[in-house]
Amino acid sequence: MATPASVHAHAPQGFIRKYIFSLDHKVIGIQYFFLALTAVFVGMFLSLLMRIHLIWPAAVLPLVGEIKPETYLSLLTMHGTIMVFFVLTTAPQGGFGNYFLPIQIGAPDMAFPVLNMLSFWTTFVGFVVIIAAFFVTGGAPLHGWTGYTPLSALPSAGPGEQLGADLWIASIAIFCIASLMGALNFITTTLDLRAKGMTMMRMPLTVWSWFITAILGLLAFGVLLSAGILLLMDRNLGTSFYVPLVVVNGQIMGHKGGSPLLWQHLFWFFGHPEVYIAILPGMGVASQVLSTFSRKPIFGYRAMVYAMLSIGFFGFMVWGHHMFMSGMSPYSAFAFSILTMCIGVPSAIKTFNWLGTMYKGRIRFHTPMLYAIGFVSLFVSGGLSGPFLAQPVLDIQLHDTYFVVGHFHLIMGVAAIFGIFAATYYWFPKMFGRMMNEPMGKLHFFLTLAGTYAIFMPMHYLGMAGQTRRYSQFTEVAYQQKLLPLQTFMTYAAIITIAAQFIFVINLFWSMFKGPKASDNPWESTTLEWTTATPPPHDNFGGVTPVVHHGPYEYGVPGAPRDYVMQTDPATSTTH
Amino acid sequence: MATYTPSSPIDHIGHGHKPPMPPAGGGDDGRSGGDAPNYGARLRRARLGLICGIATVCMVFISLTSAYIVRKGLPTFDGASNSYVRDWGRVDLPWLLLAINTAILLVSSITMEFARRKAAREAALAPVKSIPGVSLGNERSFPWLGITVLLGISFLAGQWLAWGELHARGFFVDTNPSSSFAFLLTIAHAIHLGGGMIALIWAASASLLRKPVESRRIVVDITAWYWHFMAVLWIYVFALLGFAK
């Protein structure tokens, strides 16, 4: 019989196999986490440059120089792409999903460990390729993260649309392949590797969220991959899938008959599910953390599961709401509008249940809990503007304004980031065996919460006032002058918020090496990762397989010896 | 503090640099679960992964089909006549050659199925064979996998000839949207089939390298189902190009 000691003996010892090309899902999860951390700082730096340029367009910045209008477009393209793909998709799913999904279902690893490693390194190559776009002739592309054609399909359309745009498309295609490999692994692992007793309805909501996200990824990334291949062919092989007869700088291009709207349909068929790929894991983490720190079972577990499933389902039926301005039939717009507003129902169920979970709870305001509450706050604030944009008559006014920028940054960007922060502060002790500094964590939270609201709430007013997005300069436009003070305020808020993130980074690295040692279950949580050693051994459970007897959120159980019942505690008559 | 109660030891922990073998499926969903990994569980897991992979490939071809339908119906502005005209055009496909290729692929699917059944039979009889003194006689061993590899190579070679024939007839990838899709769909299928070829060669080499019979059976089984899917997908592509001209 194997013992925990023998398990450790079997763990890989060489540096390369242990830390670089590791097959261990925990190491791969940490690799994803640090890749996303690198990417988020790149993306954040780009946003800082944009904010500075909007207020001081003539400023000459160290290392960067003067930002030209086309450079501004490159910055926003790369900011959006890096953030959406390499941060919001990579960290919650690739990072925490990889690390904790197998442990939370009682498995020693992912179903296909080699595929898992390949998935990470393919993502890494995708990141290197997109960063390379900054350094090639012409620089990074300027067609926005949505890559609308024909701009993205014509190398002569702008300085960044040459090799930089090819690298951008190649990077997205590589990322798609990596995500598909990951999704395949997540689905198989969830369905096939659950420990005895871990029924689907005993899975933590985090596992449900990673599972549903993987299904969305499996169905969505293939479409983006196809769309990207057609785009590459239009750019390099002279085909006309997306490009109509078009004139650039007085010169007729060799294309004809293509449809720019075809790209939009294919892109948004991926693009809208991508919103849920980014946010669903955050929902799972928020549920997990709110229940743990409220010391109450999650309110309406089954309703939460069905709400996530229906959000995922509806997510594939609403892509047209990004295209109300494309001249689509009003009947189509009506259908997309109604379906979009339907998503409000499961979203409201989730919000109600989060509040219900906290109601009359014995709340412990640790940093992960603060971030989970922040997540709910941002989800509500960003979500409430969704039904406005879902209505074609309002969207026609608000489309391509800062209102949209404020909406999606709150709901998809910052809310998802708060989910990542909640996950980091919550699982850091398990991952690294030490506690993070609480006062620094709380300071980081309050600065980030106030900062993000200060940046993104004013954008709604700017949008309603008609200020358009993607414009690099407003300072020279007379009728925009009244809005400049608000833009200036947002830039200062962005500088402070970005500076606050260094508190997190210092806390992260300091705590990894110097933080107080963590016990196996410092938060008194119930799920399987807290039943094993900190950090978990190579096979996760030290040579034994757990048997699950309880649901994932049994807190405050009457008659139980403690205020929580671990999932592996023996079944008793007082619990179910 | 944690009150983890160890319940059942696992006897398949990591081997060298490899991760520990995952246990069989769990939950209380009507499966056996919870025990050490076994051949049946590994096969089920691999098939589940394959279903996910096939779902992905389906999405790729569904999106290409939707692009095909949309692009086919689009009019384009013609400056000379100052009106909207269809620029879809038509492609003079080498039907005979493509029909022969289709037949080759279908036959390869049959030989692959024979290979799959043979591998399954070997895996089923392996425990019996291992009993000292028990012999199952001299079973005829037909190289179904090798024949499938040859047929697969023949299909790809045939597709190469078909693309050359299209060039000879004046159709290139940028000649008109119809020819663009003809090349795109057939090449996309060939690339996916190429993946199947790699799996086939892997399966054949697993047989040559005397890998454990169970492992060999899993590889052959997964490759076979993927290969059947490739045959069905080719018929779909062929029908799309043929009937939705």
Judged by a CB distance cut-off of 8 A, whether residue B80 touches chain A is no
Distances (CA, A) of B178 to B70, B76, B181: 12, 14, 5
Are the Cβ atoms of B9 and A543 closer than 8 angstroms? yes
Among A182-186, A570-574, B82-86, B146-150, the least confident range: A570-574
Q: How many CB atoms lie within 10 A of CB B10?
A: 22
A372 against B217, higher pLDDT:
A372
From B51's Cα to the closest Cα of chain A, the distance in A is 9
For residue A25, give the chain B residue with the closest CA. B19
Per-residue confidence at B135, pLDDT binned at 50, 70, 90? low
pLDDT at B125: 81
Residue in the block written with tokens 């960290």: A91
B1 against A30, higher pLDDT:
A30
For residue A261, give the chain B residue with the closest CA. B70
Residue A66 has φ and ψ, to the nearest 5°, of: -85, 140
What the block records as the tokens of A180 is 């598909």
Partners of B84 in the β-ladder: B77
From B226's Cα to the closest Cα of chain A, the distance in A is 15
What the block records as the tokens of A390 is 């879902």
Decide if B64 is inside a domain. yes
Number of structural domains (chain B) is 1
Query: What region does A4 belong to: left with phi over 0, alpha with psi -120 to 50, or beta?
Result: alpha
CATH assignment of the domain containing B57: 1.20.120.80
The C-alpha atoms of residue A160 and residue A470 are separated, in whole angstroms, by 16
Per-residue confidence at B37, pLDDT binned at 50, 70, 90? low
pLDDT at A575: 44
Q: Which of A10, A265, A547 sits opposite B14 (nearest CB)?
A: A10
Average confidence (pLDDT) over B40-62 = 95
Prior bond of B212 cis (ω within 30°): no
Decide if B11 is inside a domain. no
Q: Which of A225, A266, A521 sits opposite B67 (nearest CB)?
A: A266
Q: Which of B2, B25, B70 sits opposite A530 (nearest CB)?
A: B2
The CA-based angle A371-A35-A7, given to 5 degrees, is 90
Q: Which of B4, B79, B174 sits opposite A532 (nearest CB)?
A: B4
Residue in the block written with tokens 């026609």: A396
Nearest to A88 by CA among A242, A231, A3, A213: A213
- On whether the CB atoms of residues B61 and A224 are closer than 8 A, the answer is no
- Helix ranges (H only) for A295-329 are 301-315
pLDDT at B207: 67
With a cut of 60, say whether residue B8 has pLDDT above it.
Answer: no
Q: How many CB atoms lie within 10 A of CB A210?
A: 28
Partners of A517 in the β-ladder: A434
Query: What region does B69 belong to: left with phi over 0, alpha with psi -120 to 50, or beta?
Result: alpha
The CA-based angle B62-B68-B72, given to 5 degrees, is 150
pLDDT at B208: 72
Decide if B92 is inside a domain. no
Q: Which of B4, B5, B48 sits opposite A188 (nearest CB)?
A: B48
Q: Which of B19, B74, B188 sits opposite A113 (nearest CB)?
A: B19
Q: Which residues of A touch B6 (CB under 8 A)?
A: 544, 546
A297 against B1, higher pLDDT:
A297
Q: Which of B17, B33, B55 sits opposite A196 (nearest CB)?
A: B33
From chain B residues 146-165, the ones with a CB under 8 A of any chain A CB are none
What the block records as the tokens of B159 is 């597709």
For residue A257, give the chain B residue with the closest CA. B76
With a cut of 70, say whether residue B27 has pLDDT above it.
Answer: no
Decide if B80 is inside a domain. no
- On whether the CB atoms of residues A254 and A238 are closer than 8 A, the answer is yes
Q: Which residues of B touch A196 (CB under 8 A)?
A: 7-8, 26-28, 33-34
Q: Which residues of A touch B192 (CB under 8 A)?
A: none
pLDDT at B1: 36
Question: What single DSSP character describes residue A517?
Answer: B
Residue in the block written with tokens 């892109």: A267
Judged by a CB distance cut-off of 8 A, whether residue B16 touches chain A is yes
Nearest to B101 by CA among B243, B241, B244: B241
Judged by a CB distance cut-off of 8 A, whether residue B210 touches chain A is no
Question: What single DSSP character describes residue A252?
Answer: E
Nearest to A30 by CA among A412, A433, A401, A480: A433
For residue B176, give the chain A residue with the closest CA. A239
Decide if B91 is inside a domain. no
Domain hosting residue B168, numbered range:
46-71+103-131+142-243
Are the Cβ atoms of B174 and A238 closer than 8 angstroms? yes
- On whether the CB atoms of residues A568 and B5 are closer than 8 A, the answer is yes
Determine the residue type at A3: T
Decide if B223 is inside a domain. yes
Sign of the Cα pseudo-torsion (B226, B228, B233, B238, in order): positive
Residue in the block written with tokens 């990072």: A95
With a cut of 80, say whether residue B10 has pLDDT above it.
Answer: no
**Most B CBs within 10 Å: which of A186, A187, A226, as the mutation test of the B interface?**
A226
The C-alpha atoms of residue A356 and residue A348 are separated, in whole angstroms, by 12
Average confidence (pLDDT) over B151-170 = 96
The CA-based angle A134-A254-B160, given to 5 degrees, is 85
Are the Cβ atoms of A538 and B55 closer than 8 angstroms? no
What the block records as the tokens of A151 is 């701009």
Q: Which helix (H) or strand (E) holds B83?
A: strand B83-86
Q: Count chain A–chain B contacts defined by CB atoms under 8 A.
A: 232
Average confidence (pLDDT) over B44-62 = 96
**Most A CBs within 10 Å: which of B3, B51, B64, B189, as the mutation test of the A interface?**
B3
Per-residue confidence at B21, pLDDT binned at 50, 70, 90? low
Torsion of CA B59, B64, B65, B69, to 10 degrees: 140
pLDDT at B138: 62
Question: What single DSSP character describes residue A325?
Answer: G
From B231's Cα to the closest Cα of chain A, the distance in A is 20
Question: What single DSSP character describes residue A256?
Answer: -
SS3 A93: helix
Q: What's this model's pTM, rounded to 2 decimal places?
A: 0.92
Decide if B19 is inside a domain. no
Decide if B87 is inside a domain. no
pLDDT at B212: 81
Q: What is the mean pLDDT of each run of 10 residues along chain A (576 residues)?
A: 40 84 96 98 97 93 88 96 97 97 96 97 98 95 95 92 96 97 97 96 98 98 97 95 87 86 96 96 98 97 98 96 93 96 96 97 97 98 94 94 96 96 98 97 98 97 93 85 93 98 98 96 97 94 92 91 92 56
Distances (CA, A) of B67 to A264, B72, B163: 11, 8, 21
